Structure 1
Amino acid sequence: MNGYGARVPRRLLITLRLGETPEHLPSLLACRRYGVTPAESIDGGPIDRLLRHHGGALRCTRLHNSRTRHDQRPGTAGARRYDDVEQLTGVARVLRVLVQDDRHMPALLQALAQLASVEHVRPDQLSGIPFDGVTAPGRPDELAAWQSRELIRLPEALGFEPGDPAVLVGLADTGVMGSHSDLEPLRRGFDTVDLDASVTGGLTLIGDNHLSDEEPDDEVGHGTGCAGILHAGGLSLPPGGAGQCGLTPVRVLGAALQNDKRVGIGALSNIDAGMKRLIDLGVKVINMSFGTPESALRPDDAPPHQEVVRYALARGVLLVAASGNSGKEERYFPAAHPGVIAVGAVDAALKPCSFSTRGGHVALSAPGRDIWTTGLTGYQRASGTSFAAPFVSAVCALMASYAQRRAMPLTPELAREVLVASARPFPVAGVEGGGAGVLDALAALQALDTRLDALLEDEP
């Protein structure tokens, strides 16, 4: 996994301070779906003057739609339908701005950051995932496919808790090939990608990338691979780790060619818009196998995905992210955000993979080398922290199902504590930056059971 870090030309994201967002600004979804015209002015004051001085004409929308739909509060303007959580976490205050002239973008960003009404400003950058899965034309190696699942006692965990269809996992990725014969039926997903050739530098876009729509069809294979770990039907692969839980795919990363290999690539605004909509659809867990390295950010940039991560945690959503594939000790976002469960990768001997990005923010590790899963043309053997994260997301879904079965809440904080406390120690000494150890699915459910008992005993 790697964040490309290139700017989307002429596009920036501005988060205004609480109480500073004008009501006339339409949402991006309203402009795309209902033909509303983007605003050509924001505050009629210093923000507009700076934007026009450095960038010429402007067009602006709110990045996120409100959680409350128009039909739930008819006659109420969209800007007034955002609730307190949306306002306080910042998702109601994120603006996506397109300027006419890109030549003075650094000066524009610096000037906007000095305004009292601006909480922070950043360029709309590209985030992505190189992909190097090995396609298998026939059936996968059955013994090898089961090995990664058995290493973390996932079959026993599914016997302990089969999963609840009411618990939904959101998969923010390159989409999913929903017609795959070895994928259980998926819930309806959607697509937020809007890229064109001018934004991708030396990469060649392929497939459907220009306009967002409601079809999350995978053209890379990465999202389909993650989906197989979570939701395989047990035809030629072991059953999906999330059991009977539902899976909602969203295509936040489009398809491109890099050195003749397919990669997933998407703008930060594409990713955040997809994440927000998943949260509002009621998912309990979101798997995020993508990232942007801290080294790709300007020194004064706020970390990407900040508002939508805060929003998810405030809504009680469990966020699981791949730590990265740089093999270094560094921070990728969203994995490095507080509250996110960052996952490293281990091999079949439970030793950390050489490519796994390390750091004190990593919570634990899971199998991530030569993982058999679904692909665009049958099956694939894939490696990367991208494929370690779905194992943890699956166990989070099982934990949420078990807590719901006991009529007890599972908070993001409790889920992380249980996963860390129940992890198996690494088989070698001196491992640093790989988290508390290796995921143990059954032990996590058993530890959760004990914690829920303790919570009940503590009630007055």
Structure 2
Amino acid sequence: MNALHAPRRLLLTIRLGELPEHLPSLREVRQEGQPMAARIDGGPLDRLLAHHGGSARTVRLHSARITRLQRPGVPGARRFDDAEQLSGVARVLRIEIARDAGLPTLLRALQQLPVVERVQPDRLCATPFDAPARALREIDPVAARRPRAMVRLPQALALQRGDPSVVVGLADTGVVAGHLELSRRLRRGFDTVDLDAATVGDLTLVGDNTGRDEQPDDEVGHGSACAGILRANGAGLPAGGAGLCGLTPVRVLGAALQGGKRVGIGALANIDAGMKRLIDLGVRVINMSFGTPESALVADDPRPHEEVVRYALARGVLLVAASGNSGLAERYYPAAHEGVIAVGAVEDDGSPASFSTRGAHVALCAPGRDIWTCGLAGYACVSGTSFAAPFVSAACALLAAHAEARAWPLDPQSARDILVESVRPFGAGRASDGCGAGVLDAAAALALLDQRIDAALVAPT
């Protein structure tokens, strides 16, 4: 499934300084009725698109962080700031061509143009790559508390309750906003899914997949499960690990049926557009429990999400991603991007889970087996690195809140270093090679942050 792409759609990044100003943004097309552009440069780009793909229509994938109201009369392409330009998000085009048969040849030809920085199909990314959830109405309270206790979240929350101004972005399948555990716990979210039946091959789309509303309603359960770990109100589950920190859900993955089971699926453009908007809303942490394996890419393919990851890091956002559930030593993206905190999973005894994807890029692990959390209706018991990542995202939110409480800047690299240096050892059992430094210890991470701030404050200037 990961090798599929949205038919007749590609993503092309123009080199710095070469972006034409006349191209509308995707948001302008959807919300304001502007037509997609029928030409890009009036030269080699348009000729190649016409020759290999028939007619082509183009939009800028992302909108500028500075809005039209803030700079009236300035075209959107000129409102992007340095971080947007240098990271590349300002220069990503989503192109729709009339014919898909010539796409491989078209991609190779476009790669040869000096004006093109990178080009790729608008690939489909799926989640969960996890064990099916067990939907249950009654919770085992002892089992529900066990993973929280393993990573010492209760002790961490005693040290730092969280801050509502520190917001976690959840890029996933959306949430069940009316769930007993999530009601009144969430900030306003949004929906960037834009799929149709022709987009997803032999999968069957279900529910809302048109990308024409702002409601991040979960139709899979995956996003709600992650949200419960982060922000549950404690009605039946243990309270969410992010404490009082905010949570903004974005639905970047729609719902499809595969073998009778619902899965989340979204195009790279859907995901990256949701990520960019979260960053511009000022989230401090983004949880990314999805991924594309490197094995699904060919040698010259760009690595998915590269521009938006660079942009997030430039804005100081802490990025947390599930490492994958293949049980192999391999790289999934976005987890394998430099600067992203890649999270593997451990069993109840702290030993690495057999399904956890390994590699030198994995930073640490968190509980990922039989995690009690929110389901589409009631509760669910879930397994996978998708559900290990939110424990680390919660710890990142508490670190960011604690740093702000002490008026201290916390950058993504420092947060990663603190998490890695404060881990607890793996439990005895399976070999831990490629599983990172150890198991998350949220309380020790907060204590180490305090030590670092204290040391810096007394150091000679």
TM-score range, shorter chain: over 0.9
Partner of 1:107: 105
User: d(CA) in 2 for partners of 1:134 and 1:288?
Assistant: 18
Superposed displacement of residue 138, structure 1: 2.1
Partner of 1:75: 73
> 1:57-93, CA deviations, whole angstroms, 9 ceiling, x for partnerless residues?
0000000000001111111111111011100000000
1:426 aligns with 2:429: no
1:175 aligns with 2:174: yes
Superposed displacement of residue 213, structure 1: 1.8
Partner of 2:441: 440
Q: What's the TM-score, normalizing by structure 2? A: 0.98
Superposed displacement of residue 452, structure 1: 1.4
Q: Is the 8 A contact 2:254 2:264 kept in 1?
A: yes
Superposed displacement of residue 428, structure 1: 2.8
Superposed displacement of residue 248, structure 1: 0.1
Q: Is the 8 A contact 1:135 1:377 kept in 2?
A: no
1:266 aligns with 2:266: yes
Unaligned runs of 5+ in 2: none
Superposed displacement of residue 298, structure 1: 1.8
SS in 1 for 2:20: coil
| Amino acid corresponding to residue 448 of structure 1 in structure 2 | L
> 1:378-402, CA deviations, whole angstroms, 9 ceiling, x for partnerless residues?
0000000000000000000000000
Partner of 1:343: 343
1:367 aligns with 2:367: yes
> 1:406-439, CA deviations, whole angstroms, 9 ceiling, x for partnerless residues?
0001100000000000011112384201000000
User: d(CA) in 2 for partners of 1:136 and 1:277?
Assistant: 32
SS in 1 for 2:188: coil
Which segment is superposed worse, 215-224 or 193-202? 193-202
Partner of 1:218: 218
Superposed displacement of residue 201, structure 1: 1.1
> 1:295-343, CA deviations, whole angstroms, 9 ceiling, x for partnerless residues?
1112101100000000000000000000000110000000000000000
Partner of 1:63: 61
* Change in 2 beyond 3 A, CA 1:400/1:459: farther
1:85 aligns with 2:73: no
Q: Is the 8 A contact 2:163 2:245 kept in 1?
A: yes
User: d(CA) in 2 for partners of 1:454 and 1:316?
Assistant: 22
| Amino acid corresponding to residue 433 of structure 1 in structure 2 | G
Residue identity (%) = 65
| Amino acid corresponding to residue 437 of structure 2 in structure 1 | A
User: d(CA) in 2 for partners of 1:134 and 1:122?
Assistant: 33
Partner of 2:28: 30
SS in 1 for 2:11: strand
Q: Is the 8 A contact 2:133 2:383 kept in 1?
A: no
1:9 aligns with 2:7: yes
> 1:221-279, CA deviations, whole angstroms, 9 ceiling, x for partnerless residues?
00000000000000100000000000000000000011101100000000000000000
> Mapping of 1:134-283 within 5 angstroms?
134-183=133-182, 184-283=184-283
Superposed displacement of residue 210, structure 1: 1.8
* Change in 2 beyond 3 A, CA 1:126/1:136: closer
RMSD: 1.0
Q: Is the 8 A contact 1:221 1:376 kept in 2?
A: yes
Q: Is the 8 A contact 1:133 1:380 kept in 2?
A: no
Q: Is the 8 A contact 1:163 1:244 kept in 2?
A: yes
Partner of 1:286: 286
Superposed displacement of residue 457, structure 1: 2.8
Q: Is the 8 A contact 2:185 2:232 kept in 1?
A: no
User: d(CA) in 2 for partners of 1:148 and 1:264?
Assistant: 25
User: d(CA) in 2 for partners of 1:89 and 1:16?
Assistant: 12
Superposed displacement of residue 459, structure 1: 6.0
Unaligned runs of 5+ in 1: none
SS in 1 for 2:400: helix
> 1:329-375, CA deviations, whole angstroms, 9 ceiling, x for partnerless residues?
00000000000000000010001111100000000000000000001
* Change in 2 beyond 3 A, CA 1:68/1:330: same
**Which aligned segments of 4 or more residues in structure 1 are displaced greater than 3 angstroms?**
130-137
User: d(CA) in 1 for partners of 2:423 and 2:460?
Assistant: 28
SS in 2 for 1:144: helix
SS in 1 for 2:209: coil
User: d(CA) in 2 for partners of 1:310 and 1:458?
Assistant: 32
User: d(CA) in 1 for partners of 2:93 and 2:203?
Assistant: 27
> 1:98-156, CA deviations, whole angstroms, 9 ceiling, x for partnerless residues?
00111100000000001111001000000011354434442211000000100111000
User: d(CA) in 1 for partners of 2:148 and 2:162?
Assistant: 16
Superposed displacement of residue 7, structure 1: 1.3
> Mapping of 1:326-405 within 5 angstroms?
326-405=326-405
User: d(CA) in 1 for partners of 2:459 and 2:413?
Assistant: 18
User: d(CA) in 2 for partners of 1:135 and 1:303?
Assistant: 33
Number of corresponding residues: 458
